[in-house]
């Protein structure tokens, strides 16, 4: 916050942007509300003009400009919230996305210009199936890595297990049958490991996964079935086996790739991903690296192979500047592509990527869903998570909601195998805002054979066990339940993009409404024992409300005109009603 005694604060912002800008301004509020405004008109709070005081070209049409403006405030306004907007004289430029910051004492900020962005419509309506290629389906046994058949299962889990793109292709109809409309494909870069996250070549598919031809067939098949396909891109680092890194480590400053990495003490000390020496971090702010990423890597996956977007691995690694450029590059090639980041961090941090990216994975929501349903924490935590999401995330930002992924214990393992808890969590996931993601196998009850008890370097192997294709090993009832949930969401726009409003919450029960102009749904989640709850009829002003259970379509509740709405919630249950007047 800013010192009390000041009544004028100079705000200096450095903005990276495409094309010309010559004007700017600050929208600010002092009552804690989020400032809203555009091109000089404040919707709430106040507006102060800013002037461009310097401008340099960064090449490729990217510029860096410094803007200065002055905010006037009352003596006791300590929590000034503001956002900066820049545009060109014709008013065609748009605004940048770092909104809602709290003014600090020096009020100097680095901001990043993005288009007045809109996330793709399809992404807002997506349900995504997350495939981990090596563990999904072996479609071509001829490309398997030979692994000693005498190894124990636990040892095998550390190695390549045969899943490949041919297998994904064969299972497109299975994925389609679940009802989802998008697939996220784990990395298949050429590289040493089965998970693909150690790229040794950004432009080659590892032969153990397949080749360009089968990759294109996967995408074509998915498209034929009305599904989008998103690739898991790893822009932050390469394998230390990557020829670029090997060259830099061998030839030092004589190597053209020396500046592609950050050597702190050549050749053995360099910046890495999380201290993993096998993963030297790329210096994506180096012009040659940046240009390679934008002009070679992005077009390869998006245009040559035909992906519909990217899940961006460790998105908080590369700079904001990189993401501004990335967005511009992607949208120029494919305006409708969806780019969402893995920013495993707080909501506030995640939201700093809004506008640079279209969306992000919702780790805070995952934590809440896990805590409440698998671990039996208070339902209040979910209620808070929903409210904080509403308050924090940019409305255009598409949040991918999930219960588990390849980096964490499976939900069903955490719930100690309690399938009912998984069903509850999934029902919440599919009736909450965001784009729900299903980690392969969750829908058939895939869990873990073991916990990681001895901490070795492969802690995560049990999060990635093979998909059980044998129906005898699948929980078919659970699969049916998942299909029902997905279908319900597909059928009801209100559940996908409608508003959310909480009606009631206590430690074990949460009731919320999802609504749009046409439809209203009421979701009752109970994490404990049966309860009778009375909902205030506030918005229904004495109208008669009929609640229709979405599954059996029976009218279940007809409260009288003067009554409040009474609902009995089932122990450990989920009830979803359509509200009919
Ligand atoms: C391997 C072993 C692991 C071992 C690790 C470190 O398998 O058991 O712990 O090495 O020695 C990929 C592979 C992993 C592999 C890793 C390194 O999938 O199997 O691990 O490469 O070789 C942070 C990052 C987040 C990252 C997670 C894992 O912020 O971006 O850590 N997730 C992505 C992918 C991973 C992938 C990589 C990044 C690297 O999804 O699969 O790993 O490309 C807190 C922090 C988070 C932190 C989180 C987990 O909550 O806030 O920032 O996430 O804990 O550590």
Predicted local confidence at residue 78, as pLDDT: 66
Nearest CA to ligand 1 atom 50: 344
Least confident of 53-57, 158-162, 245-249, 346-350: 53-57
* Residue 12 Cα to ligand 1 middle (Å): 37
Q: Is 338 in the pocket of ligand 1 (CB under 6 A)?
A: no
SS3 string, 87-147, reads ECCCCCCCCECCCCEECCCCCEEEEEECCCCCCCHHHHCCCEEEECHHHCCCCCHHHCCCC
**CA 419-424-428 angle, 5° bins:** 145
Residue 2 lies in a domain: no
The side-by-side arrangement of strands in the sheet containing 509-515 is 499-505, 509-515, 520-526, 574-580, 546-549, 555-557
Nearest CA to ligand 1 atom 3: 458
Query: Catalytic residue among 342, 404, 443, 492, which?
Result: 342
What letter does residue 282 receive in the DSSP assignment? B
Q: Is 342 in the pocket of ligand 1 (CB under 6 A)?
A: yes
Nearest CA to ligand 1 atom 4: 457
Q: Is 185 in the pocket of ligand 1 (CB under 6 A)?
A: no
The domain boundary, picked from 457, 491, 525, lies at 491
Check the CA dihedral 208-211-215-220 and report its sign.
negative
DSSP character string of 496-534 = HHSEEEEEEE-SSEEEEEEE-SS-EEEEEEESSS-EEEE
On the question of pLDDT at 89 being above 90, the answer is no
Q: Is 460 in the pocket of ligand 1 (CB under 6 A)?
A: yes
443 shares a domain with 361: yes
Q: Which ligand 1 atom sits closest to the C-alpha of 345?
A: 51
Nearest CA to ligand 1 atom 44: 344
212 shares a domain with 72: no
On the question of pLDDT at 559 being above 70, the answer is no
**ipTM confidence:** 0.98
552 shares a domain with 431: no
Residue 298 lies in a domain: yes
More confident residue, 183 or 81: 183
385 shares a domain with 408: yes
Distance CA 286, CA 290 (A): 6
117 within 8 A of 396, measured Cβ to Cβ: yes
On the question of pLDDT at 442 being above 60, the answer is yes
- CATH number of the domain encompassing residue 519: 2.60.40.1180
DSSP character string of 424-436 = HHHHHHHHSSSEE
428 shares a domain with 362: yes
Q: Secondary structure of the chain: what % helix, strand, coil (to 5)?
A: 30, 30, 45
Residue 1 lies in a domain: no
pLDDT band at 92 (very low <50, low <70, confident <90, very high): low
The domain boundary, picked from 112, 132, 157, lies at 112
Residue 201 lies in a domain: yes
* Residue 451 Cα to ligand 1 middle (Å): 17
User: If residue 327 lies in a helix (H) or strand (E), which one and from where to where?
Assistant: helix 320-333
Does 457 participate in catalysis according to the annotation? no
Compute and round to an integer the Cα radius of gyration of the chain.
Answer: 26
The domain boundary, picked from 227, 259, 283, lies at 283
Tokens of 555: 């009218």
* Residue 407 Cα to ligand 1 middle (Å): 6
Examine residue 231 and say whether the peptide bond preceding it is cis (omega within 30 degrees of 0): no
194 shares a domain with 101: no
464 shares a domain with 344: yes
Q: Is 458 in the pocket of ligand 1 (CB under 6 A)?
A: yes
On the question of pLDDT at 363 being above 90, the answer is yes
Predicted local confidence at residue 218, as pLDDT: 98
Residue 99 lies in a domain: yes
316 within 8 A of 343, measured Cβ to Cβ: yes
Q: Which residues contact 158 (CB under 8 A, 6 or more apart)?
A: 458, 461
Nearest CA to ligand 1 atom 30: 314
Check the CA dihedral 374-380-384-386 and report its sign.
positive
Nearest CA to ligand 1 atom 52: 344
Residue 3 lies in a domain: no
* Residue 361 Cα to ligand 1 middle (Å): 15
519 shares a domain with 425: no
How many domains are contained in the chain? 4
pLDDT band at 581 (very low <50, low <70, confident <90, very high): confident
Q: Which ligand 1 atom sits closest to the C-alpha of 315?
A: 30
* Percent of the chain residues topping a pLDDT of 70: 90
Q: Is 459 in the pocket of ligand 1 (CB under 6 A)?
A: yes
Predicted local confidence at residue 41, as pLDDT: 87
Q: Coil, helix or strand for 454?
A: coil
Tokens of 434: 């965001």
476 shares a domain with 404: yes
Q: Is 113 in the pocket of ligand 1 (CB under 6 A)?
A: no
Tokens of 164: 């490949």
Q: Which domain holds residue 393?
A: 121-236+284-491
pLDDT band at 64 (very low <50, low <70, confident <90, very high): confident
Q: Which residues contact 46 (CB under 8 A, 6 or more apart)?
A: 27, 28, 29, 72
Distance CA 312, CA 307 (A): 13
Average pLDDT, the chain: 90
More confident residue, 180 or 44: 180
131 within 8 A of 184, measured Cβ to Cβ: yes
What letter does residue 564 receive in the DSSP assignment? P
331 shares a domain with 182: yes
Does 391 participate in catalysis according to the annotation? no
Task: Read off the pLDDT of each residue in 87-111 and give the average, rounded to a whole number.
Answer: 56
Distance CA 545, CA 531 (A): 20
On the question of pLDDT at 38 being above 60, the answer is yes
Predicted local confidence at residue 99, as pLDDT: 44
**CB contact burial 215-242 (16+ within 10 A = b; e otherwise):** bebbbebbeeeebbbbbbbbbbbbbbeb
- CATH number of the domain encompassing residue 420: 3.20.20.80
More confident residue, 581 or 282: 282
557 shares a domain with 438: no
What letter does residue 86 receive in the DSSP assignment? E
Q: Which residues contact 430 (CB under 8 A, 6 or more apart)?
A: 127, 436, 485, 486, 488, 489, 495
Q: Is 192 in the pocket of ligand 1 (CB under 6 A)?
A: no
Residue 46 lies in a domain: yes
398 shares a domain with 349: yes
On the question of pLDDT at 161 being above 60, the answer is yes
More confident residue, 184 or 28: 184
Predicted local confidence at residue 399, as pLDDT: 98
Task: Read off the pLDDT of each residue in 428-433 and give the average, rounded to a whole number.
Answer: 98
Taking only the tens place, the pLDDT of each residue in 254-301 is 999 999 999 999 999 999 999 999 999 999 999 999 999 999 999 999
* Percent of the chain residues topping a pLDDT of 90: 69
281 within 8 A of 287, measured Cβ to Cβ: no
Taking only the tens place, the pLDDT of each residue in 396-418 is 999 999 999 999 999 999 999 99
Q: Which ligand 1 atom sits closest to the C-alpha of 363?
A: 50
On the question of pLDDT at 110 being above 70, the answer is no
Q: Residue 529: how many CB atoms within 10 A of its CB? A: 11
Predicted local confidence at residue 455, as pLDDT: 61
On the question of pLDDT at 326 being above 60, the answer is yes
Residue 40 lies in a domain: yes
Phi/psi for 206 (5° steps) reads: -65, 130
Q: Is 273 in the pocket of ligand 1 (CB under 6 A)?
A: yes
Predicted local confidence at residue 97, as pLDDT: 41
Q: Is 204 in the pocket of ligand 1 (CB under 6 A)?
A: no
On the question of pLDDT at 457 being above 80, the answer is no
């Amino acid at each position: 916050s800013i010192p009390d005694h000041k009544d004028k604060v100079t705000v200096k912002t450095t903005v990276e942007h495409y094309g010309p800008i010559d004007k700017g301004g600050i929208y600010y509020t002092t009552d804690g509300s989020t400032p809203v405004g555009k091109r000089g008109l404040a919707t709430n709070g106040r507006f102060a003009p800013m002037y461009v005081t310097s401008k340099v070209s960064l090449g490729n049409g990217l510029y860096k400009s410094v803007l200065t403006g002055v905010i006037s405030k009352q003596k006791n306004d300590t929590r000034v919230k503001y956002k900066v907007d820049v545009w060109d004289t014709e008013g065609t430029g748009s605004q940048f996305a770092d909104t809602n910051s709290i003014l600090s004492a020096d009020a100097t900020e680095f901001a990043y210009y993005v288009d007045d962005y809109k996330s793709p419509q399809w992404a807002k309506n997506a349900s995504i199936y997350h495939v981990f290629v090596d563990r999904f389906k072996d479609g071509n046994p001829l490309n398997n890595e030979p692994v000693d058949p005498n190894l124990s299962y636990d040892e095998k889990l550390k190695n390549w297990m045969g899943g490949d793109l041919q297998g994904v292709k064969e299972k497109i109809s299975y994925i389609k049958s679940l009802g989802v409309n998008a697939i996220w494909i784990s990395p298949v870069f050429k590289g040493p490991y089965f998970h693909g996250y150690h790229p040794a070549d950004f432009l080659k598919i590892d032969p153990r996964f397949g080749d360009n031809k089968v990759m294109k067939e996967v995408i074509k098949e998915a498209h034929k079935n009305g599904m989008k396909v998103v690739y898991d891109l790893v822009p932050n680092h390469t394998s230390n086996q990557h020829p670029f890194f090997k060259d830099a480590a061998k030839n030092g400053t004589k190597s053209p790739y020396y500046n592609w990495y950050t050597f702190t003490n050549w050749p053995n000390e360099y910046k890495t991903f999380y201290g993993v020496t096998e993963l030297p971090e790329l210096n994506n702010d180096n012009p040659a690296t940046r240009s390679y990423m934008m002009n070679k890597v992005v077009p390869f996956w998006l245009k040559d192979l035909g992906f519909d977007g990217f899940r961006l691995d460790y998105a908080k690694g590369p700079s904001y500047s990189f993401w501004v450029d990335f967005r511009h590059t992607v949208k120029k090639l494919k305006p409708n592509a969806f780019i969402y980041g893995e920013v495993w961090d707080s909501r506030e941090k995640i939201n700093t990527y809004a506008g640079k990216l279209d969306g992000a994975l919702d780790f805070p929501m995952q934590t809440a869903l896990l805590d409440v349903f698998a671990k039996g924490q208070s339902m209040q935590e979910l209620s808070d998570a929903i409210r904080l999401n509403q308050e924090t995330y940019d409305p255009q930002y598409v949040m991918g909601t999930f219960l588990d992924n390849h980096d964490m214990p499976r939900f069903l393992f955490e719930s100690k195998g309690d399938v009912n808890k998984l069903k509850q969590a999934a029902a919440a996931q599919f009736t909450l805002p965001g784009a729900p993601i299903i980690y392969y196998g969750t829908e058939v009850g895939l869990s873990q054979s073991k916990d990681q008890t001895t901490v070795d370097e492969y802690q995560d192997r049990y999060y990635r066990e093979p998909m059980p294709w044998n129906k005898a090993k699948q929980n078919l009832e659970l699969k049916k339940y998942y299909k029902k949930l997905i279908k319900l969401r597909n059928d009801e726009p209100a559940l996908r993009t409608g508003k959310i409003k909480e009606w009631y919450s206590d430690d074990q029960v949460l009731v919320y409404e999802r609504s749009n102009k046409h439809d209203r749904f009421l979701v009752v989640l109970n994490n404990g024992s049966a309860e009778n709850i009375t909902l205030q009829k506030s918005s229904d002003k004495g109208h008669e409300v009929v609640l229709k259970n979405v599954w059996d379509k029976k009218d279940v509740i007809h409260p009288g005109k003067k009554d409040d709405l009474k609902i009995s919630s089932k122990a450990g249950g989920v009830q979803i009603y359509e509200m009919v007047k």
